[in-house]
Amino acid sequence: MYLTTDIKKDIFKKNSLSKSDKDTGSAESQIALFTHRISHLTSHLGTHPKDYSTRLGLLKLVGQRRRLLNYLQKNDINRYRSIVSQLNLRK
């Protein structure tokens, strides 16, 4: 599978609030994980454009990430700005 335990630990370590690989529940960690999965599914859909079930899953992931970003923006704008700049989500 494309998302092994080591890759997840690396994602959590780089983007978590406490900078540890065990911090899997923070909003920053979840947003980083969603972003990694979204980029993978986007490249998959580039080669398989008629895979509609994957497209539906991609849209659900984008919605979940959007809701987490809205939560961060509403509650802690500094954390929101830092994760957006780390992951290059906005221009």
Predicted local confidence at residue 61, as pLDDT: 97
Q: Taking the CA atoms of the chain, what radius of gyration do you get in angstroms? A: 14
What CA–CA distance (Å, rounded) separates 17 from 24? 10
Place of tokens 């923070």: 26
CA 37 vs. chain centroid, Å, equals: 7
Asked if 45 and 51 count as a contact pair (C-beta separation under 8 A), the reply is: yes
Q: What's the chain's average pLDDT?
A: 89
In degrees rounded to 5, what are phi and psi of residue 37? -65, -40
Q: How many helices (H) and strands (E) does the chain have?
A: 4, 0
Residue 91 pLDDT > 70: no
Could you tell me the domains of the chain? 27-87 (1.10.287.10)
Model confidence pLDDT, tens digit, residues 19-55: 666 778 888 889 999 999 999 999 999 999 999 999 9
